[in-house]
């Protein structure tokens, strides 16, 4: 066991001292702080440029519009300017163009935008025109204001959410992103490291000093530690932004997903670490085992194909969890060990995972990791001694069969 820990600390120091680790930590931390600073200083200060062409008998109250639309800059144009204003939108020199026409006394809006419509801009215009049209109709038909108010009285709606939602979509999104990124970055890093040691014949020297099985788990665990350290650095960067005042605990939004920091508690953090660790181990052991079977780094892509398909599948099912956390595919992914680290945690955050289901999913995941670790160790011990031959999946079956027969003879 002493050799295991010596190898573990050696690989950990090597990982942390590498330029890639340090550059990634610094760059992403700066990006996080930069994103938070941009959100903080640009919130409610963005200019909204809107041109209006009014070809109707209705009037637009500019002061009322500015109360409804933050940062509004309104340009009044004529019909001859419509083509020019459309060009300005295409050139992103203008955000929106509203053309007001009239058909049979009814106001008709034409709304032009560059790529994404903004209901917050269009609604104040339509609300003003709707109110004026109601007044015009009521005057024409001699309807009193009381009658008009009753006709357009809003029906009260009492909304009650029944899902036990103890998290937010932002937490799920960040977890899926982190899991996917670190599986690819650190998992493939393990495979490339092992293949590189074999191609340079360093492996032949190392196995005379340390048992191959110790080398396997030392690499996997050291990369896991490095990954957790890097994740911690990123969260510390976010916490620094929170201390500075760049984050409001209930108003942070990441690519459209809300991130409610007030809902993060000790059980959520513990489950995050558990599923992050388990998810990494499932794939890292596969990457390490398959990386030991090849001697040239250029063959790495073909061997890693099946594992990459599983990683992409986990990402797909994880994103589907955001939209349909109770669907059949998501339910399957809750207990399938290659998907469950992402899916089970996501369902828990969304309030769609009972304690019993969570325990069952975690138990299956841990048992699967032990089985994968056993198979990975068998493959690694034999694989590091294989040189020169191009990898074929049939060779793996023969290799394991030979080991089994040797054990039965002994």
Q: How much is the pLDDT for 255?
A: 55
Residues of the chain with pLDDT under 50: 166, 408-409
Q: How much is the pLDDT for 335?
A: 94
Q: What is the pLDDT of residues 277-302, one digit of tens each?
A: 999 999 999 988 888 887 777 777 77
Question: Which token pair is 15?
Answer: 């990982």
Q: What is the pLDDT of residues 44-101, one digit of tens each?
A: 556 889 999 999 989 889 889 988 888 889 999 999 999 999 999 998 899 999 999 9
Q: How much is the pLDDT for 262?
A: 67
Residues 300 and 306: their CA atoms lie apart, in Å, by 12
Q: How much is the pLDDT for 332?
A: 93
Q: How much is the pLDDT for 389?
A: 62
Q: How much is the pLDDT for 99?
A: 93
Domains and CATH numbers, the chain: 7-39+165-409 (no CATH), 48-144 (3.40.190.10)
Q: How much is the pLDDT for 215?
A: 84
Q: How much is the pLDDT for 260?
A: 64
Give the contacts of 331 (CB within 8 A, at least 6 positions apart).
none
**SS3 sequence of the chain:** CHHHHHHHHHHHHHHHHCHHHHHHHHHHHHHHHHHHHHHHHHCCCCCEEEEEEECCCCCCCHHHHHHHCCCEEEEEECHHHHHHHHHHHHCCCCCEEEEEEEECCEEEEEEEECCCCCHHHHHHHHHHHHHHHHHHHHHHCCCCHHHHHHHCCCCCCCCCCCCCCCCCHHHHHHHHHHHHHHHHHHHHHHHHHHHHHHHCCHHHHHCCCCCHHHHHHHHHHHHHHHHHHHHHHHHHHHHHHHHHCCCCCCCEEECCEEECHHHCCHHHHHHHHHHHHHHHHHHHHHHHHHHCCCCCHHHHHHHCHHHHHHHHHHHHHHHHHHHCCCCHHHHHHHHCCCCHHHHHHHHHHCCCCCHHHHHHHHHHHHHHHHHHHHHHHHHHHHHCCCCCCCCCHHHHHHHHHHHHHHHHHC
Q: Rounded to an integer, what is the distance from CA 117 to the centroid of its chain?
A: 24
């Amino acid at each position: 066991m002493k050799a295991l820990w010596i190898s573990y600390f050696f690989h950990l120091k090597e990982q942390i001292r590498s330029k890639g680790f340090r550059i990634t930590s610094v760059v992403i931390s700066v990006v996080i702080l930069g994103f938070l600073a941009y959100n903080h200083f640009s919130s409610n200060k963005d200019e909204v440029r809107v041109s209006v062409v009014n070809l109707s008998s209705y009037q637009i109250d500019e002061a009322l519009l500015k109360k409804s639309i933050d940062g509004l800059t309104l340009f009044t144009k004529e019909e001859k300017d419509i083509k020019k204003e459309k060009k300005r939108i295409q050139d992103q020199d203008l955000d929106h163009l509203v053309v007001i026409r009239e058909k049979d006394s009814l106001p008709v809006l034409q709304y032009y935008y560059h790529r994404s419509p903004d209901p917050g801009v269009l609604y104040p215009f339509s609300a003003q025109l709707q109110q004026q049209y109601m007044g015009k109709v009521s005057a024409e038909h001699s309807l009193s204001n009381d009658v008009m108010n009753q006709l357009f009285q809003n029906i009260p709606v009492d909304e009650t959410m029944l899902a036990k939602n103890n998290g937010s979509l932002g937490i799920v999104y960040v977890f899926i992103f982190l899991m996917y990124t670190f599986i690819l970055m650190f998992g493939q890093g393990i495979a490339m490291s092992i293949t590189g040691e074999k191609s340079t014949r360093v492996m032949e020297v190392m196995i005379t000093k340390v048992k191959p099985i110790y080398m396997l788990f030392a690499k996997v665990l050291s990369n896991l530690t490095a990954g957790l350290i890097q994740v911690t650095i990123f969260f510390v960067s976010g916490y620094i932004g929170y201390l500075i005042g760049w984050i409001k605990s209930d108003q942070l939004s990441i690519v459209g997903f809300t991130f409610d920091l007030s809902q993060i508690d000790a059980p959520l953090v513990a489950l995050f670490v558990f599923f992050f660790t388990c998810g990494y181990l499932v794939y890292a052991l596969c990457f390490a085992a398959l990386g030991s079977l090849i001697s040239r780094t250029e063959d790495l892509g073909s061997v890693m194909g099946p594992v990459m398909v599983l990683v992409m599948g986990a990402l797909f099912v994880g994103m589907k969890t955001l939209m349909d956390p109770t669907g059949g595919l998501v339910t399957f992914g809750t207990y399938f060990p290659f998907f469950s680290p992402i899916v089970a945690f996501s369902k828990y955050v969304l309030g769609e995972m009972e304690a019993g289901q969570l325990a069952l999913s975690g138990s299956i995941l841990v048992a699967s990791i032990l089985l994968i670790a056993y198979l990975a160790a068998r493959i690694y011990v034999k694989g590091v001694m294989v040189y020169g031959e191009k990898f074929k999946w049939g060779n793996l079956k023969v290799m394991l069969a030979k080991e089994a027969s040797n054990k039965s003879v002994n």
